[in-house]
A and B are shown apart, each in its own frame.
Chain A
Amino acid sequence: MNWHGIAAIYRYEMERTRRTLLQGIVSPVIITCLYFIVFGAAIGSRIDEVQGVSYGAFLVPGLTMFMVLTQSVSYASFGIYFKRFTGTIYELLSAPMSAIEIVIGHVGAAASKSFVLGCIILATAGVFVPLEIQHPGWMLLFLVLTCITFSLLGFIIGIWADGFDKLQFVPLLVITPLVFLGGTFYAIDMLPPFWQTVTLFNPVLYLISGFRWSFYGTGDVSLWASLGMIAVFLGLALVLISWIFHTGYRLKD
């Protein structure tokens, strides 16, 4: 293993975060605070308990997951896409590094950043609502797995995208709607039966449900279904990345 290479990529990408702290960390935290104020305090005060907790507390896992999903994708996609955009990818491709080392460096950095972001958001949420975590081990496991899986997805998007608009396409037009319709703001038993069935096809529902279970011991689907779904995501992302490096898709002529 080229450990120096992995560390070099990791440090380089973390340095990018330091430079873009306002955009990468501060901005998502402020947006989450606004959600808590509007939906948790203003509107939530008129809503009864959901799944046995106050509406404000109910929102915490979903909103955390929302930011972690979108920012994992954003961090990882930008890291690799920017190298392609500027042409400095030549250095990565000519370095004595295997595909897995390149992925570990980039995805490791993106996942670290989104993990830190997730923790900051949870800490911030504690200011607005009384925070309770019944299964902290499971919470950490879900958070880490989500950070890694969606950073892998971001890495794939960064290689697939051939413009900055496409870089934003998946986080804004795919992940955001899935998160909004995946039980961030409601429990699926609040929906009519038909839409409950439709929602079960939304993979993000399983991630949010599992994460919420680690907080309050209740969720829309079973814990194992949530774990299974994240494992499927992870497996698919790894297969796609393996294919990308095997074929050189958008990396090598």
Chain B
Amino acid sequence: MRRECPPVRRERDAISDADEAAAADTRPPVMVDVQGLRKQYHGGFLALRDVSLRIRRGEIFGLLGPNGAGKTTLIHIICGIVTLSAGTVRVAGYDIHRQYRETRRRIGLVPQELTNEAFETVWTTLTYSRGLFGKAADPVYLERLLKDLSLWDKRHSPMMQLSGGMKRRVLIAKALSHEPEILFLDEPTAGVDVDLRRDMWKLVRGLRRRGVTIILTTHYIEEAEEMADRIGVIRDGELILVQDKHELMRSLGSKVVTLELAQPLAHLPEALARLGVECEQGGRTLRYRYSAEGGEAGVDAVLRAVQQAGLTVHDLHTRESSLEQIFVRLVGEQPEEAQ
């Protein structure tokens, strides 16, 4: 029986569902528009400096940054929890101050902290959240939501009887209880087990298919790498980069090709040294690092030089730098004024 090769999965395939949903959508193409945002707390701490950012409808935006960089402050300003010092923020075209009802009813927030009232039941807290956001009771929707989050059996349990992972699920359910168009997930998988993290990723993908715009902050960079369409990196209150994830990986990422030789080398041939190849492990391994963007010509030259030097390659493998490595490099760089 002939076995067909599966089609090549294009990068954009992962979000094609969202594109289809977006095509029929009449909402504005930019769901969150932040311009010249500045936040200085009463103590004088400058949390955000002139941040400008546009988040498109239906995308998953990964907001990365070290602790204290300003991620949560930015989210809290957009949600109305923290007041801004300067700048403007519009959500779905509405100003967060003058038209706060329009902006807030569109937003759901999963906070970083496991905040809950210990004595309330899951169901009570969920119906409360839905009501706060101006929605009439809808037990059918809430039942589906709780079932999706594997919480239905716990609906009558007080919050204090739930595990940390369960409480995190409840926070997600509360954020989704009023069917928001924009969902902020502030470190949603902090301290949760692998199963819940997978469930959450599944849920997030499902939400995007329904056209929900998702803004995700996380310490698990692989999570952003897996989920996000675009990445924003914030450092010391400044948004230092906003880029499509794949472009970011291409432009800032690097690749390493490793050649394991059949016989160890005593000396690295001059032709290989000129190309930047390094000799490691007592001459048993050759390593060539090149930028992910347009490095292919270099690899070709290296392979030709290896052949010309008469070396026998026992094995070959390549490795691409992860988003985490790019992130560490970006946040590790000192700001210009500090240099």
Residue positions of A touching B, CB distance < 8 A: 2, 4-5, 7-9, 11-12, 15-16, 19, 82-83, 86-88, 90-97, 248, 252-253
Contact = CB atoms under 8 A, between A and B. Distances in A.
9 contacts: A4-B133, A16-B119, A86-B117, A92-B132, A94-B80, A95-B132, A96-B100, A96-B105, A252-B82
Interface stretch (B28-36, B63-71, B108-116, B306-314): B108-116
Contact of A7 (B76, B113, B120, B131): B131
B134 interface: yes
A4 B136 contact: yes
A130 to B, nearest CB: 41
Contacts of A252: 81-83
A4 B82 CA distance: 24
A82 B132 contact: no
Interface stretch (B14-22, B50-58, B121-129): B121-129
Contacts of A90: 76, 79, 81, 109, 111, 115
Closest 4 CB pairs of A and B: A8-B131, A87-B115, A95-B132, A96-B101
A8 B132 contact: yes
* Interface residues of A, dominant DSSP: helix
A11 B132 CA distance: 11
Given A94-B109, A96-B101, A253-B83, A82 B117 contact: yes
Nearest to A92: B132
Contacts of A96: 100-105, 133-134
A96 B101 CA distance: 4
A32 to B, nearest CB: 27
A253 B41 contact: yes
B227 interface: no
Contacts of B115: 86-88, 90
Given A94-B81, A95-B104, A252-B83, A4 B117 contact: no
A10 B236 CA distance: 41
Contacts of A19: 119
A8 B120 CA distance: 14
A39 B77 CA distance: 56
A91 B174 contact: yes
Given A9-B132, A96-B133, 9 more contacts: A4-B132, A4-B133, A4-B135, A12-B120, A19-B119, A90-B81, A91-B129, A96-B101, A253-B42
A236 B23 CA distance: 54
Interface of B: 41-42, 76, 79-83, 100-105, 107, 109, 111, 113, 115-120, 124, 127-136, 174
A8 B128 contact: yes
Kindly name the residue among B109, B113, B124, B132 whose own CB sees the greatest number of chain A CB atoms within 10 A.
B132
Given A4-B135, A87-B113, A87-B115, A12 B82 contact: no
A5 B117 contact: no
A15 B120 CA distance: 9
Contacts of A86: 115-118
A252 B130 CA distance: 22
A194 B40 CA distance: 54
Given A2-B101, A2-B134, A88 B117 contact: yes
A90 B119 CA distance: 18
A104 to B, nearest CB: 13
A90 B113 CA distance: 11
B133 A95 contact: yes
B104 A94 contact: yes
B210 to A, nearest CB: 21
A93 B131 contact: no
Contacts of B101: 2, 96
B328 to A, nearest CB: 30
A220 B299 CA distance: 99
Contacts of A97: 132
A14 to B, nearest CB: 11
A5 B133 contact: yes
